[in-house]
Amino acid sequence: MANPATVEQTVRYRSANAVLVGNALTKVYRMGEVNVHALRGIDIALYEGELMVLLGASGSGKSTLLNILGGLDVPTEGRVVYRDQDLTSADNDQLTAFRRDHVGFVFQFYNLIPSLTARENVALVTEIAPNPITPEAALDLVDLGERLDHFPAQLSGGEQQRVAIARAVAKQPDMLMCDEPTGALDAATGRIVLEVLERVNRELGTTTAIITHNAPIAAMADRVVTLADGLIKQEGYNSQKKPVREIVW
Ligand SMILES: Nc1ncnc2c1ncn2[C@@H]1O[C@H](COP(=O)(O)OP(=O)(O)OP(=O)(O)O)[C@@H](O)[C@H]1O
Ligand SMILES: [Mg+2]
């Protein structure tokens, strides 16, 4: 947040505007005789409308954390609360409903259905969502309004990723969780994809979390959280976040 008036106001603003709160999150993967401690006690929140970038070395726990916040996985210990709903006590059906209604996911690989067009891939989601925008509007938002009837094989990697983003945002989720959305793309194409995420965050107000290996990208965020070895090592706000087009990497 740029120039908060007082620390007290900041604290009040932040606690009033948390969409999702994770408390004391731990994750232990049991691999035969060995326990892998992926998360070692993380307190984190996502705030209304913010764009948060999550940095950290390979293996530091970024994907594990995002998967737990998005309801794709559950913590070993700790709590996740979405608005007034405690997800820790949710059963599988409730967790599925939470993901379906409130979270859009974007991954490194686009997971589009090859036999469906761009429009049909997005429609798969809009047909079951309670409050969707149309597939056409979603594809327009990612600048693919001219490619509605193209199949994934007829689109470049960056274009396929934009279809995946259109699919994720078409249901108008409260939160968008992106795990290395540019990981499979060259820098120029990655930039276009990040500009699309920046636009979705700005125009739809979708609370957005983006995992990246690419530290300079953090300049586009309102807030940057860095993980190391399953813990939050650093957290800070950009008082002046940069438009993606001005970031050099
Ligand atoms: N399903 C799993 N079973 C066992 N160990 C796992 C599993 N998933 C992750 N881990 C371990 O948990 C730790 C954190 O993994 P995670 O995938 O969250 O890291 P990451 O920060 O996303 O890394 P990367 O940048 O390489 O994607 C790693 O040591 C990893 O090996
Ligand atoms: Mg990862």
Please give the torsion angle defined by the CA atoms of residues 201, 204, 209 and 211, in that order, rounded to the nearest 10 degrees.
-60
* Domain 7-246, CATH: 3.40.50.300
Query: Whose Cα sits closest to atom 3 in ligand 1?
Result: 29
- 230 CA distance to ligand 2 middle (Å): 12
Cα–Cα dist 119/167, whole Å: 9
Query: Looking at residue 24, what is its pLDDT?
Result: 97
Q: Confidence band (pLDDT; 50, 70, 90) for 1? A: very low
- 167 CA distance to ligand 1 middle (Å): 26
pTM for the predicted model, two decimal places: 0.92
Quote the tokens at residue 116. Answer: 């469906």
pLDDT in tens, 164-220: 999 999 999 999 999 999 999 999 999 999 999 999 999 999 999 999 999 999 999
As residues whose CB is below 5 A from the ion ligand 2, the structure lists 63
Query: Looking at residue 134, what is its pLDDT?
Result: 97
Find the ligand nearest to 60 CA: 1
Residue type, 128: I
Query: Among candidates 238, 236, 225, which has minimal Cα distance to 25?
Result: 225
Give domain limits for the chain.
Answer: 7-246
